[in-house]
Chain A
Amino acid sequence: MTDSTYWWKLAGKAFGVGVLLFLIAPIIAIIPLSFNTSSILTYPLEGFSLKWYAKFFADPRWWTAIKNSLIVGVATVGIATPLGTLAALGLSMTGFRGKSFIIAGFMSPMVVPTVITAVGIYFLFSRLGLANSLSGLVLAHTALAAPFVVITVSASLSQLDRVLLRASASLGAGGLTTFWRVTMPLIMPGIVSGAIFAFTTSFDEVVVAILLTGPEQRTLPRELLSGTRENLDPTVMAVATLLITLSVILLLVFTALQQRSSRLVDKDQ
């Protein structure tokens, strides 16, 4: 190896590490602040304390927010996952007229800025009486989350060997049996990944939540936002830390699922 390639490689690595730091530094910076004794959000830290966590757990306002977020998140998963899976199944079948329009329609909530979607939903839902209700928020989040399910399930379906479906039919299984016993188990990693994405989409969503929720329906991100604006104290950091932990766990589950699905098809390819 010549000297110059060595330095180039080193520079490349340094750049990579730099980008990673840039991405995670803000997240990492929050975590120690949540354990700080001081109520002012600055470094250096003054001492270790769990009092902000205690404050968080004691405050019914946060509990309501967590409850709302979980209700909305789980309901969104419950609707968006089957809908997105069915859409992906339909789209994976042989081509039909207008297929690309339908795909564009499904994907539009991902492409259009959330504010635009949120404002549109707000006006529509106000007329329908769905504003300031959790069910309205669930419906809005479903629209935002379903494209992620479509994408992950479509990716799983593209890996699925169609001959297996023929094999299942030749063995006497009708369409529904084949779906439950062959297709679904094989695309399950895609379905679960989609469900995880759907949950995080809803759990992190703040723009629609601002427009569509009253004080009763405030979700966790919505409460966090008002927390930082109204009375900025480290409780917000404690909440953020808890959310980061949850996200990391979900990300690990997602990665594990991806590895499992690639193991099943490995030798076939």
Chain B
Amino acid sequence: MAIAAASPIVRLSGVSKNYGIYKAIDRIDLDIVPGEFITFLGPSGSGKTTTLMMLAGFETPSEGAIEMDGRRIERLPAHKRNIGVVFQNYALFPHMSVRENLAFPLNVRRVPTAEIRSRVDAALAMVHLDGLAERKPVQLSGGQQQRVALARAIIFKPRLIVLDEPLGALDKNLREHLQAELKSLHRDLGTTMVFVTHDQSEALTLSDRVAVFNKGRIEQIDTPEALYERPATPFVASFIGENNMLPGNIETRNGDEVAIRFAGGGLLQARSQASCKPGDEIILSIRPENIRRASAGAGQHVSATIIDIVYLGDQRRILVEADGIGRLVFKTGAAGEKPITQGERIDIELSAGTCRVLPKQ
């Protein structure tokens, strides 16, 4: 992959953070490459924000090293790191106008006054806030405040920008709007950005790569496509997108073709790149969109009973009990298909290529 070939701008090696006996972060390794938009995704308490805070210099790792451009920085104070931070609740200085907020990092760096003025104007134009320079933060809406915070984090041309759930406090429409702006800003600036969120769709939309955090560890780092289509662990499979997770045992293996036996007695064919041998306990993950009502004779068919149907507008979400296998969710178009009712018996198709074998944790 082209991204992985470049030398990293930031490297975390064996980084841990302990609070007493509680391990908030447990030996994380991570390379961030120049220019990428990488997202730390995970539920609350998974360690994603703690990792970001260690990167920004507000927390010190208990063990391990953080390097930036090959230089150790884990003990360097935050104000010497040259990392722009966008905080969840904006953190604008309430006693300063928008212009003064933006000028702050430039004043600190002793940039000449005339240059400060032109750079502030340029930054405001970049986030579409021209004309609001003399306002105080309390006179701005949430979205405008977040734009100012963003402008303030980029105006001093930091080596890296980290964003701690910056869109979390905004309503859905505004959030999507700002996501698009953030993405185009990243494209224009080319600055490396590290983004923290618990919203998986936000992570998939914005990122070049996503690091999925769980219980203080990184479960998988990959492109959004790879995470979605080839999750490495059951946690990633269930956290990103909807997924059917079925526990079973490997019965036979023939190359990458495996047969899986379920507790209910059913047998399914799947493909597995992972190393597994007959007798292993595994979890089979199948995306709802890879399950269909069976039509022709080809493919792997299973009989099932319909338990519940939920109308979602553009589609229907159907819950079935597959004979000998377990409960599965899949989706059908809302219109143009043969109507089905609760309790009805149907055949569903699960192609072996879309069933993914994951190690049981």
State the A residues within 8 Å of B (CB): 161, 163-164, 166-174, 177-178, 181-182, 185-186, 263-268
Contact = CB atoms under 8 A, between A and B. Distances in A.
A167 B82 contact: no
Given A167-B85, A173-B104, A265 B94 contact: yes
A166 B91 CA distance: 9
Contacts of B81: 170
Contact of A163 (B91, B104, B108, B138): B91
B147 to A, nearest CB: 15
Contacts of A267: 137-138
Interface in B54-87: 56-58, 77-85, 87
Given A161-B89, A264-B94, 14 more contacts: A166-B78, A166-B87, A167-B85, A169-B78, A170-B78, A170-B84, A170-B85, A170-B153, A171-B84, A171-B156, A173-B105, A264-B138, A267-B138, A268-B89
Nearest to B95: A185
Identify the 9 closest CB pairs spanning chains A and B, nearest first: A170-B85, A171-B105, A167-B91, A169-B78, A267-B138, A172-B108, A169-B79, A163-B91, A185-B95
Contacts of A174: 77, 79
13 contacts: A163-B91, A164-B94, A166-B78, A166-B91, A169-B79, A170-B57, A170-B79, A172-B79, A172-B82, A177-B108, A178-B79, A263-B138, A267-B137
A178 B78 CA distance: 12
Given A164-B91, A169-B57, A266 B104 contact: no
B335 to A, nearest CB: 47
Nearest to B104: A171
A169 B79 CA distance: 4
Q: Interface centre among B58, B91, B153, by most A CB within 10 Å? A: B91
B104 to A, nearest CB: 6
Interface of B: 56-58, 77-85, 87, 89, 91-95, 104-105, 108-109, 137-138, 152-153, 156
Contact of A170 (B83, B93, B95): B83
Contacts of B83: 170
B105 A164 contact: no
Q: Interface centre among A163, A171, A174, A181, by most B CB within 10 Å? A: A171
Nearest to B83: A170
Contacts of A185: 95
A166 B58 contact: yes
Nearest to B82: A172
Given A167-B87, A169-B77, A177-B108, A186 B156 contact: no
A266 B79 CA distance: 28
A172 B103 CA distance: 12
A172 B91 contact: no
A166 B53 CA distance: 10
